[in-house]
Structure 1
Amino acid sequence: MPNPMSVRTLFVSDIHLGTRDCQAKLLVSLLRRVRPERLYLVGDIVDLIAMQKRAVLPPDQQRLAARLLRLARAGCEIIYIPGNHDAAMRRLCGLRVHRVRIERQAIHVTADGRRLLVSHGDEFDTHVRIAPWMLALGDGMHQFVLALNRWCNRGRRLLGMPYWSLAAALKQRSGAARRYVDQFEQAALYQAAREGLDGYVGGHIHKAGFRARDGVLYCNDGDWVEHCTALMEAPCGRLQLIDWRGEVIAREPVMVNGLKSGEALPDAVGAATRGA
């Protein structure tokens, strides 16, 4: 393998260590390909909720945890922002554990001077207008689809084929899932604009992507149970989504004079998030 590529910052979230769906081996593969100066762990790194029922920590996951600690010892600045599945870690916010800084959220300044709010994103759940019974049904279906995803990729490995996300492909076809993502993105964009920032970086919804509106940039780094993607900041400050092989799958939208065409944030979003 060639020497790892140096990157200024890497954002990863939703690893869900401790579950059967964690694609730790693929994340280790990425961390062999890129060498970040700063690494943000943007929530749901360890799935403490799932581990209360059944803890799964195979060798691949143990190697990933060890690699993260080695990165910290080697001088990589690691900021851990707990999510809803590892919310118990929020009691440690403000502390350093094994050279890893734990924070509730962060303001990241890119190389080109932009200020981005970084949080897991579960704080926006109250602004997404979906009935509780639909959320419960969706969670049950999600677990079923993830089980199908495991079997699908087990077969692909036997055939010598690379990882492919069946779960992500099925969710892409769901209108309800698209509406959920749209509302989440709008809430995150509004919060960043409300705080006078240039953008937002988060995870939580397992849907990697960019969105720009009224000069504010939304970035979601994806997850490591379905999409296996990360957000990377190049030395110049530009942001890109990469997959587990380190290949660029999307670049941040180009804005002219800080603005990108698109309608203004709906009043309903502002009203829903006011006071957040």
Structure 2
Amino acid sequence: MEETRAVRRVRALFFSDVHLGMQAIQVEELLKFLALYEADTIYIIGDLIDGWRLQKEWNWPPIYDELAHALFEKARNGARIVYLAGNHDEFLRDYMGTYFGGVEIVDRMIHVTADGKRYLVIHGDQFDVVVANAKWLAHIGDWAYNFALTINAPINWVRRRMGLAYWSLSAWAKRKVKNAVSIMGRFEEALSHEARNSEVEGVICGHIHFAAMHHKFGIHYINSGDWVESCTAVIEDHDGAFELIRWKELTAPPRRKRGLGRLRATE
């Protein structure tokens, strides 16, 4: 019997990089997550919609409308929803400062925590040297990322048959390839530098699909991750504390010990 979880009420909720339009994304998991978290303010930190992908091939299944309805319902119930455009939904940057169905569309925002600390909220692509200076290369990187996701499907089908957990080729490459690690480090440093210039205590961003929370550069750097693979988000409690939510870990069934199945079979 599936465990019934209580709805958790938080002060603010931050998520990014859902990429509606891509084939392999976790919209169903995001809907489950949103059903269990009620927030005074919800920040969508860019790339909710993947305009690059939709321009190439229109893909809009009914579950995308379910997500839109869920967000608009939260707005109708009193939640403030702020949408910060990213590079994949950059077409929204033509509508900065406007409202759509109760959703604010902005480029950046200063979030003030319950204990009075100020955080810059921004997607972050503006500080990605590849996106900013070589957009054609960014499109190649996007193709490579989608190719890695396609390869992941058969690999993880085999892993499930073997009783193994999900494994991500793209996440492995980000951790192991020296150049990718270096680029992520420079991105985090650039965002931390921008936060310092903005005279705030921290920065909350997305874009690189790598959830993190640290003070490496003297600024509280928070990245909300993505809902393509990792299913991560950030919340602020009513006391001003931040928490990185790894949804897959919260909802993963407990692992059975090795050999238990064989033991039961011979009882």
Structure 1 length-normalised TM: 0.80
- CA distance, structure 2, for counterparts of residue 72 and residue 129 of structure 1: 33
Distance 1:164 1:72, change over 3 A: farther
The CA distance in 1 between the partners of 2:226 and 2:171, in whole Å, is 11
Residue 41 of structure 2 is aligned to residue 38 of structure 1? yes
Kept in 1: contact 2:26–2:228 (CA 8 A): yes
Q: 1:171 to 1:193 in 2, by over 3 A?
A: same
2:181 counterpart of 1:178: yes
Summarize the alignment of residues 84-233 of structure 1 with structure 2, pairs less than 5 Å apart.
84-126=87-129, 138-153=141-156, 165-213=168-216, 215-233=218-236
Offset, 1:132: 8.0
Structure-2 separation of matches of 1:160 and 1:57: 32
Letter of the aligned partner of 1:125 in structure 2? D
Asked if the contact 1:43–1:204 (Cα under 8 Å) also holds between the matched residues in 2, the reply is yes
From 20, 24, 36, the equivalent of 1:21 is 24
Per-residue CA deviation, residues 146-181 of structure 1 (Å, 9 max, x unaligned), is 112344455667889876544323422221211110
Q: Which deviates further from its counterpart, 157-166 or 225-234? A: 157-166
Count of residues in Structure 1 that have an aligned counterpart in Structure 2:
248
**In the alignment, what sits opposite 1:268?**
none
Partners of 2:56 and 2:133 lie apart in 1 by 27
Which sits farther off after the overlay, 128-137 or 104-113?
128-137
Q: What one-letter code is carried by the residue in structure 1 that aligns with 2:183?
A: Y
Q: Which has the larger radius of gyration?
A: 2
**One-letter code of the match for 1:221?**
S
2:58 aligned to 55, 58, 72, which one? 55
- % identical equivalent positions: 39
Question: Which residue in the other structure is 2:74 paired with?
Answer: 71
C-alpha change, 1:214 and 1:23, in structure 2 (3 Å) is closer
* Aligned amino acid, residue 30 of structure 2: L
Deviation of 1:194 (Å): 1.0
Gapped regions of structure 2 (runs ≥ 5): 252-267
State the shift of 1:59 in Å. Answer: 2.7
Secondary structure of the structure 2 residue equivalent to 1:26: helix
Give the structure-2-normalised TM-score.
0.83
Q: Provide the aligned C-alpha RMSD in A.
A: 2.7
